[in-house]
Amino acid sequence: MLVLAIGARHNALVAAWPLVAFVLWDAWPQSRLLSAKKPFLRLSFALTAAIIIVVAVQLILNQSLGLIAKRADPWQATSNFDLAAISIVKNTLLFSKEAGVARKGVRPKDLLRVYSPTDHLQLYYGCINDGGQRCRHALRRAHSPKQLAALKRDWFKAILKHPNEYFQHRLRVYAPLIGITGQHSVTTYFQDSIDENPFGLKMPRNRWRDAYSSRLREWSRSPLYAVWIYLAFALILFGSGLGLWASGRSPIVAALAGSGLAYHATYFFFTGSPDFRYSVWTILVTLLAACSLLFEREEPAESEHIETRIPPMNH
């Protein structure tokens, strides 16, 4: 499952890392070098080996999937979003001509017309001119390796030169995702029908499903969808898990909570909208970490891992 996750989402690597490290930790007590009497050495080995494993898996999957799928370079959605935001604040277009992202004649004030911290797609599909005229868009995606390389240089240069503006923009984008800017800031999607498709498939209306969807929409405005609550709970569980590990208990609580926290932290730097689905993994492992507290156990003593030899019976 972790391999599939790493193949499906690039940032799943950081979510898998603590869990793989826990598996390695749990498998190594039999080693004298990595015994329970050397917890920090054992932890260092587990974390190091885990990062090597997950990075190797991602590299292998990228190479393998590249044979059957077209490379998408999803990072440029974030780079364009960041460059547009900083360009607006500094009133200077930070997209180079070599990148080919900013359309001809686009200025920072044009970017301002379509910029939204909760929807980066407006930069590509929003109109920067009056509605009565033919719609003009601000940005387009880079395609050639030369354009992508230039875009990457523009992005890193802007972050290093304007770190305050960059982090302010990232905070404006991340705050709605965790639900700290208003009751209805998190975006949820409830599908009542199937979109038009070439197969002619349709989903007939059902009063039970409609009632359930209506109830879910009501719940989406409740604290159940306030992601910051789960993040705070995960942080508490992570600290508690470390304390349990230090006292000789299993590190599973810390591993689960750490996986959720690490995964969600990546969205501070890469999210382009407050989509609730980005938080599902963090919520899931946080709840699993809470359940694990009920079943946490002490680390087995070294003597428990020594094979017991049964003497032969005398006839």
CA distance 105 to 13: 40
pLDDT value of residue 63: 76
pLDDT value of residue 186: 65
Could you tell me which of 149, 5, 151 has the C-alpha nearest to residue 77? 151
Q: Do 147 and 99 touch, CB atoms closer than 8 A?
A: yes
pLDDT value of residue 131: 61
pLDDT value of residue 149: 95
Secondary structure class of 159 (helix, strand, coil): helix
CA 162 remoteness from chain centre: 24
Could you tell me which of 251, 312, 258 has the C-alpha nearest to residue 285? 258
pLDDT tens sequence for the chain (315 residues): 666 676 667 788 899 999 999 988 877 655 555 555 567 778 888 889 999 998 888 888 777 766 666 666 788 999 999 999 999 999 999 999 999 999 999 999 999 999 999 899 999 998 988 766 788 899 999 989 999 999 999 999 999 999 999 999 999 999 999 988 755 456 666 666 677 778 878 777 778 877 877 777 777 778 888 899 999 999 999 999 999 888 878 889 999 999 999 999 999 999 998 888 899 999 999 999 999 988 765 555 544 444 444 455 554
Q: Do 230 and 279 touch, CB atoms closer than 8 A?
A: yes
- The domain limits of the chain are 1-71, 75-178, 185-194+205-293
Q: Is the pTM of this model over 0.75?
A: yes
Q: Do 102 and 136 touch, CB atoms closer than 8 A?
A: no
Q: Do 139 and 100 touch, CB atoms closer than 8 A?
A: no
pLDDT value of residue 61: 78
pLDDT value of residue 32: 54
